[in-house]
Structure 1
């Protein structure tokens, strides 16, 4: 404890903060990369004027609350107050649209990754660039606003992501890490910056050529892992720590997206490795050995924080509907006078799923709380459906909801493994769904037919991942790559638990996914005939 206390007092710590979909988490790590304190703040997106958003006030109050709770954790454990930090890193959910005008004010409410409102722009840009531009990407949001002739477009001075925004306000630097930037606009893998040919193609579009700005003038600068991305200003320090205890002058690493920090937190930045982040949304990321043979609308191409090409199969929906069902069981347990701890309830219900039939008994559900681009739904309608012949019991019910959490992502992964022949040695899972040991891990191994590993540190997630990037920036040796740093200095002694796919489960999941694909027409009917409100 003495060493940790000394490290905090000397500022030999790293702070990582990630703004996720449902939680803002701050972690402080020591020189051994261990989490020594943490704080979190729960929040939820709002659906306002047909747009999924978070308010700017919520961003700052949530950041301040998570930082304050981490700071209180330090005080309680070690009896010291944080004044300085070795380095700081910010991460957030990728993509989306934050556009700022001349007075540095937000021109329209923050449009998150969750919005499926840019189909026209996405289609046209994919065709123009011959490169997949998903609806979530910042450039799709910008171009859709242009196509819609939105009033604010001509006033745009700068666009960025949520992580980029927070970083900018704390340092004055308009920068992004290359992994985060790869979800804004395509990256040139040689220069590790935005693709200049595509920028010129965009500028020459009829609609864009009439504007007062050129695309290159409103995009952030792109940096790779290990580069210094600015210094915490005195104003920024006060914005983060409202008590004024934190001083300015702390270096910041490039702000990254949750995809990149997930790769780092699971040591999945090398080729032939992959990781699955499963929470509100789910995405599988595979570091590629070569380019894909053609454009696939279902597959995003992004990069690791050091700039290697990554194929990403992303689904907008994962655990939200599953969590809602567990909430229903919690309500029932309270009704019958059995107060069950929520974590214990999850463990019980997840464990029950292991008793289910391999194909989940013929049951089917779609946890589409919002639209799902992977299966081409602009809106979502969560539903559960069964036939009169289905084997309807609790085990199959829970297994179905675990299976369907990975359903849309599985469709994307099949494109990589079955059509493109991408080879995978293992996948590392992280996120809340993997907290109950061995259950979701076994289901994912069945879905992907590949060994799935979970690390003891996987629960730390993206906040820890961005803290590791902050540590790499200040502690790396000359010419030491991110892969080397993670392998030799962070994960060398990591305890990893691996589950290999069970042949019966793999066959059962294949039956389930065929039912899932056929059942999409039921989901389509629900979207068409059930009003949103």
Structure 2
């Protein structure tokens, strides 16, 4: 006799840089079970070149679903999926033909081949177009791989590709779309005037170019933009067979990992900031108005409902901290208590985390990660690891200071990502920013859980049971959040350390000359 209990709920899929995860929640969005799959970069590429095979994402999704089903079986859970949400690493360039056949591997957000194109587009369009923006990558492809560009009829992101493979539709959430090309806040779709300007630039090629004046217009290549709650497609026969689910299950518009992290942090109001620590680190601030001008450390995209977001993004995330942990034996669980016990000023140590370049801070090359101030007394695992983590936090603060100068509110920081597996580190962030910090239950699965939130909003919207995205999020808090208030003495100490850190960053040009 089958004793398994039928459970209604939502499936979340997250395509990360280093692996893929799936989660299944009940109808109240409590995470019941998860599954994982892994993949690698394409090997043998030149430095600063990062590519993955989209087929590897699909294999990882297969494996993650098998892993999830195995766990469900042991728990005697029989899932019935009401809707599916998808999130993924932003800014990738996935190229396909008219028939949906891939045109080579996907270039990822961390691929550094197109800095010149980013600078040119920023100047031409009058808005910041970072080198990782998908349109910037596409301009590079046109110029450097014309034999590939001539075949392309669709451009999308990792999340958009998985959504296409499951639904057969070229659609994308507005947040992920904003990482492909600038969004017009009046129309909440791609900026039409800027699309025309891009096409002019793209066709400014030598006469002998095989793609000159034959390229498809960018607006015809990009996926259609959808906001949270709108139709993101449904599982077609291929998608249903792939996931082992019925045809017709609704899919929320596929979103980027940053909009999904915002959703997973239940953030929608101006003044709220989502900070996610992982391979890269970001602080996403909900804006109460458009940002003025171009600021080197600050990028701009959209929340799932289209609200403007100001993002301070760091390529150098927790990788340098993990490197230091490995130097001290690699036992994370043994070293973290020492980090928590270390003095606020790390015994006087300062660190730089720049294993790679950091465009937003004007750091043009990596290889300068270091810890200074070491002596017999200060050279402890706790001090060194904490100093390296603080360096990453301080880099976020440097970028965020430019938002402070324009008077943007910052009332609450919500942490997500791998760092919250040691939730006590939330106090360090609260003290460094002099701002209250909140960690919600399930914060270490922030993007995948955010995907399930978008799935539920899609399901409720289709049934006519929702109002707006902000109101929906306010009603979704589960469990008991962990909160940290700034400690005045620690704030004062860290302000002094921050002043020293800024002086060290300002010397980076000298370090580059000897690296």
Is the pair's TM-score, using the shorter chain for normalization, greater than 0.5? Answer: yes
Give the RMSD, CA atoms, in angstroms. 2.4
Q: 2:434 aligns with which of 446, 449, 454?
A: 449
The equivalent residue for 1:393 is 380
TM-score normalised by the chain length of structure 2: 0.91
Q: Which residue of 2 aligns with 1:55?
A: 53
Give the C-alpha shift of residue 188 in structure 1. Answer: 1.2
Q: Distance in 2 between matches of 1:379 and 1:3?
A: 59
Q: Evaluate the alpha carbon distance shift between residue 364 and residue 306 of structure 1 in structure 2; reply closer, same or farther with a 3 A threshold.
A: same
Question: Aligned in 2, Cα 1:387/1:97: closer, same or farther, shift over 3 Å?
Answer: same
Report the Cα offset of residue 89 of structure 1.
Answer: 1.6
Are the equivalent residues in 1 in contact too, given 2:350–2:373 (CA < 8 A)?
Answer: no
* 1:331-350 equivalence runs, <5 A: 345-350=331-336
SS, match of residue 179 in structure 2: coil
Change (3 A) 1:158 1:379: farther
CA offsets per residue over residues 8-47 of structure 1, 9 Å max, x none?
xxxx321101011223110111111111221112444456
**TM-superposition CA deviations, 1:363-390 (whole Å, max 9, x none):** 2323333332222334432522324679
Q: Which residue of 1 aligns with 2:149?
A: 153
Aligned residues: 502
Residues 526 and 45 of structure 1: is their aligned pair in 2 closer, same or farther, counting only changes over 3 Å?
farther
Spell out, residue by residue over 1:83-135, the C-alpha distance to the aligned partner (whole angstroms, 9 max, x if none): x5211121101112112234533323211111222211111111111111111
1:132 aligns with 2:128: yes
Cα deviation digits, residues 360-416 of structure 1 (max 9, x gap)? 233232333333222233443252232467943333212202202323322211111
Counterparts of 1:291-310 in structure 2, within 5 Å, are 291-310=290-309
Q: Any unmatched runs of 5+ in structure 1?
A: 332-344
Post-superposition Cα deviations, 1:338-379, rounded to whole Å, max 9, x if no partner, equal xxxxxxx43442232233333323323233333322223344
Q: What's the counterpart of residue 84 of structure 2?
A: 88
SS of residue in 2 equivalent to 1:462: helix
Shift in alpha-carbon separation, 1:226–1:388, aligned structure 2, 3 A? closer
Alignment-derived partner of residue 28 in structure 2: 32
User: Whole-Å Cα distance in 2 between the matches of residues 494 and 79 of structure 1?
Assistant: 21
8 Å Cα contact 2:92-2:106 kept in structure 1:
yes
Other structure's SS at 2:123 match: helix
Deviations 1:318-337 (A, max 9, x none): 11122233234345xxxxxx
Question: Shift in Å at residue 73 of structure 1?
Answer: 1.4
Describe how 1:396-435 pairs up with structure 2 within 5 A: 396-417=383-404, 419-435=405-421
Please give the secondary structure, in 1, of the residue aligned with 2:269. coil
Alpha-carbon distance in 2 for matches of 1:79, 1:447: 43
Q: Which runs of 5+ in 2 are unaligned?
A: 206-211
TM-score under structure 1 normalisation?
0.88
Q: Is the 8 A contact 1:318 1:406 kept in 2?
A: no
Following TM superposition, where does structure 1 have runs of at least 4 consecutive aligned residues deviating by more than 6 angstroms?
A: none
Deviation at 1:502, TM superposition (A): 2.3
Conservation of the 8 A alpha-carbon contact between 1:117 and 1:378:
no
